[in-house]
Structure 1
């Protein structure tokens, strides 16, 4: 199997010129993508309503087609779920990615067309692999198996030819032969709905495999790795999988988890961050040392970027030529699955403009701004990582929310933190967290000055397993389900406090 490496490296070099083309000319690539999308959608029900056949420029497109959130497109999607053709997209849509999210109890059903599979999800995956082999030509990545810690939903049917599951289930069911060849475990295990049994089956079966790569949300991947070490009675994953060389991470920031992964794996490996959501595969690191992920501009998605301050205003968007380094944007997409000017809900910032690279900074609805401090997930992740460094702690997960003014005290932020390794001192951790937030967020620093609006954060150390128990109580175990990191109200936090017994 190792003989494959030179061949794959040669193929990667041949394909890399195509990647260089869209990386070097991203605006041209985006114009071509939009033209293709508008041409395909012009005779759909949506296209006729919004006169897509008359649109020749980006300016006209933005004038005729309003920005949509999921509730705006839901009437169209419900028709598609019942099998009606030619609603949002011109080719048959038989698959939907079920995305439950963390901000609502209601599930979203995202259309996944054949075009979005082939020219977005799978094309982006091939480009990620191409770049990896270009950077590491002697890699034996494909000489072993890739372990995907996917979702917890089985594929379900709505109509005879209409099926849905979480994104990982949809991708696995439709993956090309090369995807089936390099993946583990078998589908019957990968698509199990019972997460506790699934973790056990994943651990029992893959512990015997030659696993060379991992992919999944860090929290659930760590849980699996710990169980594998118990089964094999080993100290590190390197003793179980000596050829492991790569971990694809996404879904949440990897910053708070890297030290834990380094320790449990027991040897250096490469970490590649990817941005693959139910709505599309948007970006990925082309090298482990890059800051940010390269935006995929020729992969069936047209991008617009809304300055976050516009969300409650005119909802003005800008294109690639107008974006600025470091500024917070909400991402707006038009896709080959029929999402037209769709507001994903994620916020990003650009780390490079040549090529265009981004980092996910949070969610439009995941922030704390009860006192004008505008703390986003990017700030919180940095502060948690710094506090861990100072106090020799390791955090497995966290959530935070505001404590409002009372007659007796000013406001504060209250944090619930599950430690994998407790800090030397919880008080020292709290001070380090506070100092780090001040260093990255001047608005927070101003509100903390002499406790003028905010006093020192309140930090609770939760017993291990509380967050998993809370997710289980909401039927959100495994896969893409995540604890809401920040909230501008106290609903999530109070629910978790009640479960954990904190007064």
Structure 2
């Protein structure tokens, strides 16, 4: 832990040097791959030359190479043959994506960051006892690689399942439930069997997606006779959460785990790699991890629609604006558009907040509402009205023919506890969005372009039912928060 804490100090104090060393390692290692030969990877390739030679790629643009890797070809994007793939439908595209997960990506990325997180949590919260009990890890499942039906060693699945299956023995011994339960693909059976198993474990840490963790904790509480989780696991002290913003769920967890000593830390772990985590207990900003197998570049969000947008190195970003993340990794993703946008809250050290998705926003009328705005507004509205939000999504209400027609936003919200006043909830949501987003505020001025938000309360189970109908219940799958079309909203409102 001391070694990892020292390396985290390097991340904070020597960011540019670490990234330069990492780019050199990536290019040097991949120089004899098909990709490396095509783009002239050579010793001494500078960041400027690297950006000039190698195109920025979306998943669709990189897929022909990934498909070769999926079929078992070696030395395509990264040396050797890749056996594991993180399968994701993403949050903006229904088509499955298969992200290569190399041994280097696991060891030098996900597991290195995991050790860092353990070391950091043990330092920030020495009373949490993160190594004196079990971590309840909630993840997805994996299956044989459909592109290699005769290869028993190749698998695809949620990145959480890939990580759990390949964990080193010391980490396996400190997690619960056992793999045969943790990797079940039938969510209802998995939830029940996991709850029964972990009921009598000494759980000190939780790790997973808040939405699914809530369901598991509620079932554990029911099996224990309805008592709070603090009575089931008296030594529970920490929740490592990610995938969705925690704000809308904070009050739910306070009710499930009514303990002043309970701590929460956010992680930013995606199929493409482990990018960042919260390293300050009272600050939501995430420390960007710079020696974990990922070389970063950034495109200013206001240039995303340009044919040739600028790409910036880490040294060129500024505090404030949103940037689309471009990554090159030790899994063979080269100048890859991950789809997330972030904004920097600090540049020494480099700390970020996730601001949205490049294709996951609400901008039907020039309002440019991003996920960060939406989640903050929903959290504020819930707090003001005593509501507990289980899930939500929003979509545009388009202008109709006829004089006086205005656009707007429809918010579909599933409550665990409805607001005392639904009209007040909608009003606080609107006010908060206007405070956070000047473009939205301008469109809402005197209701000229946008009418007040329309709040539609949906029945419990609406969102999970939508996911279940698509075979995406559990794991890291989630309903998109924002959309520029009404397709998702209309599906959710359609009779089952």
Q: TM-score range by the shorter chain?
A: over 0.9
Contact 1:404–1:412 under 8 Å retained in 2: yes
Equivalent in the alignment of 1:343: 337
Contact 1:55 / 1:61 at 8 angstroms: preserved in 2? Answer: no
Structure 2 residue 67 is the aligned partner of structure 1 residue 73? no
Any residues of structure 2 matched to 1:20-35 within 5 Å, and which?
20-35=9-24
Partner secondary structure for residue 295 of structure 2: strand
Q: Is 1:162 aligned to residue 158 of structure 2?
A: no
Partner of 1:196: 188
CA distance in 2, matches of 1:445, 1:309: 18
Kept after mapping to 1: 8 A contact 2:142/2:162? no
- Distance (Å, rounded) in 2 between the aligned partners of 1:340 and 1:499: 43
For 1:231 and 1:168, how far apart are their aligned partners in 2?
Answer: 26
Which residue in the other structure is 1:187 paired with? 179
Mapped contact 1:152–1:195 kept (Cα < 8 A): no
CA root-mean-square deviation: 1.3
- In structure 1, what is the Cα distance between the partners aligned to 2:344 and 2:361? 19
2:283 pairs, out of 279, 290, 294, with 290
Residue 52 of structure 1: aligned partner: 41
Mapped pair 1:215 → 2:207:
yes
Task: Work out the CA distance in 2 between the residues paired with 1:48 and 1:27.
Answer: 27
Q: How far 1:235 moved relative to its partner?
A: 2.8
Report the CA distance between 1:379 and its aligned residue.
0.6
Q: Is the 8 A contact 1:132 1:287 kept in 2?
A: no
Alignment pair present for 1:370 and 2:359? no
Equivalent residue, structure 1, for 2:323: 329
Pairwise CA distance, 1:324: 1.3
Mark the CA change 1:186 to 1:363 in structure 2 (over 3 Å): closer, same or farther: same
Q: How big is the shift at 1:169?
A: 1.3
- Aligned residue among 5, 13, 16 for 2:2: 13
TM-score, normalisation: structure 2: 0.96
Listed as ranges, the gaps of 5+ residues in structure 2 are: none
> Within the alignment, does 1:413 sit opposite 2:409 as a pair?
yes
For structure 1, the residue ranges without an aligned partner over 5 or more in a row are 1-11
1:4 corresponds in structure 2 to none
TM-score by length of 1: 0.95
1:170-220 CA-partner distances (Å, limit 9, x unpaired): 111111111101111111111101001000011110111111111111111
Name the CA distance, whole Å, in 1 between partners of 2:22 and 2:458. Answer: 48
2:431 is aligned to 435
Determine the structure 1 residue equivalent to 2:396. Answer: 402
Match of 1:312 in 2: 305
Aligned partner of 1:124 in structure 2 is 113
The answer for the alignment partner of 1:260 in structure 2 is: 252
> Quick one: distance in 1 between partners of 2:256 and 2:369?
31
Equivalent in the alignment of 2:450: 454
How big is each residue's C-alpha offset from its partner over 1:345-388, in whole Å with a ceiling of 9 and x where there is no partner? 01111122121111111111111111111001111111111111
Once residues 418 and 396 of structure 2 are traced to their aligned partners in structure 1, the CA distance between those partners, rounded to angstroms, is 23
Compute the displacement of 1:142 (Å). Answer: 1.4
Conserved 8 A contact 1:154-1:192: no
Whether the aligned pair in 1 keeps the contact of 2:342 and 2:355 (CA below 8 Å) is yes
Is the Cα contact below 8 Å between 2:140 and 2:158 reproduced in 1?
yes
Q: Does 1:241 align with 2:230?
A: no
Deviation string for 1:455-498 (max 9, x for gaps)? 11111111111100011111110010001100011111111011
State the distance in 2 between where 1:103 and 1:383 align.
Answer: 21
Which of 472, 475, 484 aligns to 2:471? It is: 475
Aligned to 1:359: 353
Q: How many positions carry a matched residue from both structures?
A: 489
**Alignment partners' CA distance in 1, 2:294 and 2:184:** 31
